[in-house]
Amino acid sequence: MSRRHFATAAGFLVLLSLTGCATASSTPVTSQSAAAPTVTSTPTPTPTDDAPAKFVPEDYDCKSILPPATLTVFESKKSEGFVLQDDFTDRIRTIGDDLAKFADLGGILCQWAYPSGSQPVNYGYSPISADIAAAKRADLAKDGYTETTNAEGILVTNPDSADIPDAYLFIDGYWFYGSTVDVLNVITDNLLLAQE
């Protein structure tokens, strides 16, 4: 089942505009979306002495998993209709999409969007067993996703970014999802701390 209407390039654009980054794009922006103020995000913790990054798990929710600066800007768009979509997991389950696994495994699956569903920013996080992670990675590989290993773990992305530009990161018994690599990076950069 395609997630084309849930994971779109518009999610990438709204994330960049809401977090104060700039990008050149010809993608139209709906009239609901006013220009967002520039926000300086918190510097990303980085490993020292080439030590691998370490994930420190906590009981995150759809708001606390975001960097504070990003959450502040997202919430500032509420008056324009850009809000956390409480029914996102239910909608995903209704269409039979396996993104519901994030909620089923005791984690979170989140979407911020306008009421029309435009400019969604989607992300997820949950614990995952080695067996389920291996099965999920195999399913993604069948769908044409590619894997790379980095300091954090195994990054799985769709090379056809014009189709569904989503990405997953598997690390230390957990997995993360972003509707684009940039969305995923915002989440994981907020959670990965330098190894002490």
pLDDT tops 50 at residue 32: no
Three-class DSSP category at 190: helix
Q: What is the pLDDT of residue 54?
A: 64
Would you list the domain boundaries of the chain? 9-40+54-191
The H or E element that residue 72 is part of is helix 68-76
pLDDT tops 80 at residue 15: no
Reported as a single tens digit per residue, the pLDDT across 84-133 is 999 999 999 999 888 999 999 999 999 999 988 778 999 999 999 999 99
Q: How confident is the model at residue 160 (pLDDT cuts 50, 70, 90)?
A: confident
Q: CB-based contacts of 187: which residues, under 8 Å, 6+ apart?
A: 65, 66, 123, 125, 176, 178
Reported as a single tens digit per residue, the pLDDT across 67-94 is 999 999 999 999 999 999 999 999 999 9
Considering all CA atoms of the chain, what is the largest pairwise distance in Å, rounded to the nearest integer?
Answer: 47
